[in-house]
Structure 1
Amino acid sequence: MNILKVIMFMFVLSVVLQAAYGQHHIRCIPKERDALLQFKAAIVDDFGMLSSWTTPDCCQWEGIRCTNLTAHIISIHLPGQYHYPYLSLSGIYKVSRRYISGEIHKSLMELRHLQYLNLSLNDFTDTNIPEFLGSLTNLRYLDLSSCHFGGQIPSQISSLSHLKYLNVARNYYLEGSIPPQLGNLSRLQYLDLSRNSFEGYIPSQLGNLSNLHKLYLGGYDSALKIVSSDQWLSNLNSLTHLSFNSISNFYSSPSYLRTIAKLPKLRELNLIDCGLSYHFLLSFNPSNFNFSTSLSVLYLSGNSFTQPMIFQWLSNPTSNLVELDLNGNLLKGSTSNHFGLAMNSLEHLDLSYNVFKGEDLKSFMNICTLRSLYMFENNMTEDLSSILHNLSSGCVRYSLQQLCLRNNQIRGSVPDLSAFSNLKKLDLSYNLLSGKIPEGTRLPSHLEQLLIVSNSLEGGVPKSFGSTCTLELLHLSFNKLSEDLTVIFNHLSGCSRYSLREIYLGQNKVNGTLPDFSIFAKLETLDLSINQISGTLPNTLKLLPSLKRLYLDNNKLNGTISEDLRFPSELEELSLMSNSLKGSEQMFTNMELSLLKSIDLSNNQLSGEIPKEIEGLFGLVSLNLSRNQLKGKIPSNVGELTSLEFLDLSRNQLVGSIPSSLALIDRLTMLDLSHNYLSGKIPTGTQLQSFDSSKYEDNVDLCGPPLTK
């Protein structure tokens, strides 16, 4: 009997576990799964963001989250990805994106329990924000920013009574007026309507959003206006962040600023491009005007302040400011020392794109908390030692960590810099500094980055620079340095050899041969391009374990890239163009270069066939072997280099047909096969026919589109 009970118990347990197991793996509600599939059917998914949307359990799909209790879908998180324009390895500025496009299908109405919807950074061009979103009454979070929506914000959004977060920023084709019904969203804590094409007056109903913490309006030549008599802002006592960027008539409504100043919790205020000027300040008496003591960040860039009165105006009310941005005004002249003494919390000050002179820096020497000072593109024409003396005479020399004086007309030589004991970054680029850096010139003991690009410095690098044990970046490109390269690296071989990660000495007149770099164990980037360096490539290059980028182009290097030469295994970019290097098809035989993304060996004296090892560099983005003496055929498997964007094999002696596999590389944006001995028909492929015919010219026996023969 006991055995029977045990058997029955085990049977019941197995049934329960099996049910639980099945529920765990397929718990998606069929009706909601169908709704998602209809949504997917209306989407163009070129980047495979919805590739997981095929399995039975939609709760396991990318971007989908279900509640554990009921299995209802409560979250859709499908933001695109965007990386700002960058110079790609192929030499072309690119934008890296991953997104969905198409339209948002009304099937999402079936997701009645949805609380979170994020579709930001996708591309819904030529569509409007769907009205049906107003029926998703359980939504707490809605982000539709940067989606290229047009039309107007549907008033139905105001039905989302539980909504706490609403972001429709950066939809440049959104137009019309801001719906006053948004004032019904009484639980809203975050509202971003910035960088659209709204016009008209900001509705006073926004004053009903008493729980609002962050409010962003205007931006990018906004046509929004404020009604000077409205006091709706005074109701937003929970507001911590406020942006009125580019509100076109803000300058005519001083009463608004008085209202803003009384907001008790305001921490960040953005009044960029609001047309504020000296005359606006005359509306206020600094002695009886005070911002809330909570204000710590103030952005006033892009206005028309010209007088240093702005500093007097800020001295009393904003003693708790941590960050102040006044870049892009027309400020000039010095202010009183009182400003420096009053700013007893200020850490970041941006005065770039103004008209300050070097002597005006005296005004900031007593800001004892200042960590960052940006003053690029002003009107500083004095000697550098004089300018730095104006700063170092006060306590700021102990607190300053970043100092940017680039794009001025600062003269003189590089003085001793050790007075700024905690400075981590110094940028003196694009000035008129000249002469040799005096031997014994000391750097700040904690300096990590030194940039003196595009000046007229001569000589070499003083030995004292090598004693800066924290130095990670040394950028002295575009000068007139002419010292022997071995001497320069000997001077850097103090304790800085343990910290240096990037050395840029390109576009100088540095001479000599390549020394042994192996003691610089952390070096990741070495740029010695466009100099007068001669000799051969040393085998010691392989001893740089961290080296990722090596630029030796436009020098006088000679010798052979042989199978005995080794490059670092971590190397990603290699440029040896415009030297006198020789090599053959064996030159990459024994190299482990699986991470290599860019190779430029153009304009050398390479001979033989294209090395077959190149076919195995599957991460290769850019390959330039032009202007050499290469013979033989283009490797037949070149099409396996699917990441290739740039391929230049022009001006060689290549023969045979163009491999058909080349047509399979859909990322190719630049191709040049001209001035060879290629023959046959150009393979049919969208990419190959899209290039200009000049990229195939001077191949006598080559035919087919885009050629006319």
Structure 2
Amino acid sequence: MSMLRYLYLSDNSIALRFTENWVPPFQLHDIGMGSCKLGLTFPKWILTQKYLHYLDISNAGISDNVPEWFWAKLSSPECSNMNILNNNLKGLIPNLQAKSQCSFLSLSSNEFEGSTPPFLLGSGLIDLSKNKFSDSLPFLCESDCWSNFKALAYLDLSHNNFSGKIPTSMGSLVELRALILRNNSLTGEIPSSLMNCTKLVMLDLRENRLEGLIPYWIGSELKDLQILSLQRINSDLFDLSLNNLSGHIPKCIQNLTSMTQKASSQGLSTHLYLINSDLFEYDLDAFLTWKGVEHVFNNNGLVLLKVVDLSSNHFSEEIPPEIADLIQLVSLNLSRNNFAGKIPSNIGNLTSLDSLDLSRNKLLGSIPPSLSQIDRLSVLDLSHNQLSGKIPTSTQLQSFNPSSYEDNLDLCGPPFVKFCVKGKPPHEPKVEVQDDEDLLLNRGFYISLTFGFIIGFWGVFGSILIKRSWRHAYFRFMNNLVDNIYVKYRWGRND
């Protein structure tokens, strides 16, 4: 046993129990105990392993604070791979001086909180997702500190409580393949410095509070991007939903070339990265609202998806007809925005669509007849707009529930019971769009009325309350007035 160097027990349900002060007779290089049951306390015997290269105690049922000596091991030159994900590990991580030497570090799906110490960023692949980290400005470290971590290739900070702006110095991470910041509270615009991260394969900014326009450079500069892209590059997923982005969809969206081509059997299936002579494989996954339900798609599932999701933002103006050039698009979700104008007449070119959601916008006019050419649709939602006229006739469009068309201006024809007269509703719809100027006048009128009432009320009664002589004079006046009314009333009755 003293010669034992490699111990691999992962992917079993073996229950292992160690005494608190046990000192093993061996010095291990690799420890693989993922999914083994190690008990609630953090295994102290790991401290005795001086040449630890690889450690996997993920999903081991540990519920404890991580001792400081463990973090110190990350700075060891022997450290290569540390995986403690999916336990109930908690507490604050100390800020050590020496950088982490581990090429791969996963702390995901635990209960770590507080600030994230910069020494962790010395690793090449870092997964801190699904914790309770809560750094604010400056984001994680000083604004220019990211230039010190140029070897970083994979950074997942999703599902935490990070806030503030994405720092411009992140643009110095020239080796970065994946930047995953979804489901935090990040604000501001997407920094233009990220165009320098030309090796990015995935950029996930979903579910934040980002503002501003879609950056023009995402497509033109990030040539390797496969998840989130705009122009002239291989992009299968374009998901910026649940932010505060505004403006219009750029016409260059037609340059999403992979959305005009059939899915490859290779695609995103494997991602390998060489760090310090060690080859690491990492997975990519994306949260997507698919047919009204949020799903997680991993490498293989993403290969088959070609999706544009800009839902729940503040995009306005018309939907550009160029979007219909993405003929291999499987899902288009533009719901919960402020899109106006008509649905593009060439929308029927998207013959591969399985799901189309344009609900809760301000779309006008009739439903384009070309929509009936899409025979693969299983989900359609055009509700809560200002559409009118006849619903185009096709086996597909008439098969949807009327709720797919509800709360529009004046639609007729099946699946509604309301029939059309010569292709139109029985009466012409009246579009009641309130002018912005009238809205401002009405709002100003009520604001002025409120302020006038407050000033008038307190101008009279405030003076009476403050000045005693005025208060006495006011009550004498009211008494005399009541007496006069009473006397006149009595005389009138006597007459």
* TM-score when normalising by structure 2: 0.60
Asked whether 1:459 is paired with 2:159, we answer: no
Displacement of 1:413: 4.1
Which of these residues, 672, 691, 694, is aligned with residue 404 of structure 2? 672
The amino acid across from 2:144 in the alignment is G
- 2:67 is aligned to 359
Q: CA RMSD in A?
A: 4.1
1:325 aligns with 2:29: no
Structure 2 unaligned segments of length 5 or more: list them.
260-305, 421-495
Query: Aligned residue for 2:107?
Result: 404
Residues 212 and 246, structure 2, Cα contact 8 Å, conserved in 1: no
Q: Secondary structure at the match of 1:409?
A: strand
Asked if structure 2 preserves the Cα contact closer than 8 Å seen for 1:475 and 1:504, the reply is yes
2:205 to 489, 502, 505: 505
Encode CA deviations 1:403-444: one digit per residue, 9 max, x unaligned. 224431321244244544xx3233244223322221232464
Picking from 136, 139, 143, the partner of 1:439 is 143
CA offset at residue 610 of structure 1?
Answer: 3.1
Alpha-carbon distance between aligned partners in 2 of 1:663 and 1:700, rounded to the nearest angstrom: 15
> Structure 1 residues 359, 507: CA separation in 2 closer, same or farther (over 3 Å shift)?
same
Counterpart Cα distance in 2 of 1:670 and 1:317? 70
Cα drift, residue 581 of structure 1: 1.1
Give matches, 1:558-597, under 5 Å: 566-571=254-259, 572-578=306-312, 579-583=314-318, 587-589=320-322, 592-597=325-330
Alignment of 1:374 onto 2:374? no
What SS does the corresponding residue of 2:106 show, helix, strand or coil? Answer: strand
What CA distance in whole angstroms lies between the structure 2 residues aligned with 1:434 and 1:564? 36
Find the aligned partners of 1:379 and 1:556 in 2 and give their Cα distance.
Answer: 34
Give the conservation status (yes or no) of the 8 Å contact 2:233–2:255: no
TM-fit CA distance, 1:616: 1.5
Q: Deviations over 1:437-459 (max 9, x none)?
A: 21232464432211112333333
Residue 426 of structure 1 corresponds to which residue in structure 2?
127
* AA partner of residue 520 (structure 1): L
Q: 1:551 aligns with which of 239, 243, 258?
A: 239
CA distance in 2, matches of 1:670, 1:361: 63
Higher relative contact order (CA 8 A, sep 6+): 2
Deviations 1:573-624 (A, max 9, x none): 222334241216xx31586312222212223444554323221212212211
Amino acid at match of 2:237: R
Code of the residue aligned with 1:674 in structure 2: it is E
Matched, 1:474 2:179: yes
Once the two structures are TM-superposed, the CA of residue 298 in structure 1 deviates from its matched residue by 0.7
**What does residue range 148-227 of structure 1 map to in structure 2 within 5 Å?**
none
User: Aligned pair in 2 of structure 1 residues 479, 363: CA closer, same or farther (>3 Å)?
Assistant: closer
Deviation at 1:376, TM superposition (A): 3.4
Distance 1:505 1:654, change over 3 A: same
How far apart are the structure 2 equivalents of 1:427 and 1:634? Answer: 46
Q: Say if 1:324 and 1:350, in contact at 8 Å, map to a contact too.
A: yes
Structure 2 distance, partners of 1:680, 1:414, is 62
- Shift of the 431–664 alpha-carbon distance from structure 1 to 2, 3 Å rule, reads same
Map 1:282-301; keep pairs closer than 5 Å.
296-299=7-10
Matching residue's letter, 1:675? D
- 1:425 is aligned with what amino acid? I
SS in 2 for 1:330: coil
- Name which of 216, 219, 222 aligns with 1:516: 216
Per-residue deviation at 1:293? 6.4
Q: Is the 8 A contact 2:7 2:30 kept in 1?
A: yes
Change beyond 3 A, Cα 1:296–1:639: farther
> Structure 2 vs 1, CA of residues 328 and 361 (structure 1 numbering), >3 Å: closer, same or farther?
farther
- Cα distance in 2 for partners of 1:373, 1:465 equals 25
Deviation at 1:681, TM superposition (A): 4.2
Which of 391, 395, 420 is the equivalent residue of 1:661?
395
Counterpart amino acid of 1:374? Answer: I
Q: Which residue of 2 aligns with 1:448?
A: 153
The separation in 2 between residues aligned to 1:498 and 1:324, in whole angstroms, is 37
Number of residue pairs matched by the alignment: 363
Alpha-carbon offset, residue 566 of structure 1: 4.6
Distance in 2 (CA, whole Å) between partners of 1:670 and 1:524 is: 37
Q: CA 1:618/1:669 → structure 2, altered by over 3 Å: closer, same or farther? A: farther
1:351 and 1:564 map into 2 onto residues whose CA distance is 45
Cα offset for 1:562?
8.2
User: 2:176–2:200: 8 Å Cα contact kept in structure 1?
Assistant: yes
State how far apart, in whole Å, the 1-side matches of 2:168 and 2:44 are: 39
Q: Distance in 1 between matches of 2:175 and 2:152?
A: 6
2:207 & 2:328 partners in 1: Cα distance?
A: 27
Could you give the per-residue CA deviations for residues 304-326 of structure 1, whole angstroms, max 9, x where no partner exists? 65x6538948x447957552225
Q: Is the 8 A contact 1:504 1:526 kept in 2?
A: yes
Structure-2 separation of matches of 1:648 and 1:368: 56
Task: Evaluate the alpha carbon distance shift between residue 328 and residue 626 of structure 1 in structure 2; reply closer, same or farther with a 3 A threshold.
Answer: farther
Q: Do the aligned partners of 2:353 and 2:376 also contact (CA within 8 Å) in 1?
A: yes
Relative to structure 1, the CA distance from residue 640 to residue 329 in structure 2 (aligned partners, 3 Å threshold; closer, same or farther) is: farther
Partner of 1:447, secondary structure, is: coil
SS at match of 2:115: coil
Distance 1:479 1:469 in 2: 23
The amino acid across from 2:327 in the alignment is: S
Whether 1:600 aligns to 2:310 is: no
What amino acid is aligned across from residue 525 of structure 1 in structure 2? I
Structure 1 Cα separation of the partners of residues 393 and 318 of structure 2: 24
Change (3 A) 1:645 1:449: farther
Tell me what 1:88 maps to.
Answer: none
Separation in 2, partners of 1:320, 1:670: 64
Q: Per-residue displacement from partner, 1:520-577 (whole Å, max 9, x unpaired)? A: 33333349xxxxxxxxxxxxx43x5233322344555555558787553334322233
Task: Write the distance in 2 (CA, Å) between the matches of 1:562 and 1:338.
Answer: 56
- Aligned counterparts of 1:557 and 1:367: Cα–Cα separation in 2: 44
Q: Deviations over 1:131-152 (max 9, x none)?
A: xxxxxxxxxxxxxxxxxxxxxx
CA contact 2:38–2:61 (8 Å) conserved in 1: yes
Q: 1:657 to 1:400 in 2, by over 3 A?
A: closer
Conservation of the 8 A alpha-carbon contact between 1:457 and 1:479: yes
Structure 1 unaligned spans of 5+:
1-289, 528-540, 683-695, 703-709
Q: Which amino acid in the other structure matches residue 358 of structure 1?
A: V
Change (3 A) 1:294 1:649: same
Aligned to 1:610: 343
Task: Give the Cα separation in 2 of the matches to 1:384 and 1:302.
Answer: 32
Q: Relative to structure 1, is the Cα distance of residues 412 and 296 closer, same or farther in structure 2, using a 3 angstrom cutoff? A: closer
Provide closer, same or farther for how the CA distance between residues 405 and 310 of structure 1 changes in structure 2, counting only shifts above 3 A: farther
SS at match of 2:67: helix
Aligned partners of 2:28 and 2:49 also within 8 Å: no
Instruction: State how far apart, in whole Å, the 1-side matches of 2:26 and 2:11 are.
Output: 15
Partner of 1:356, secondary structure, is: coil
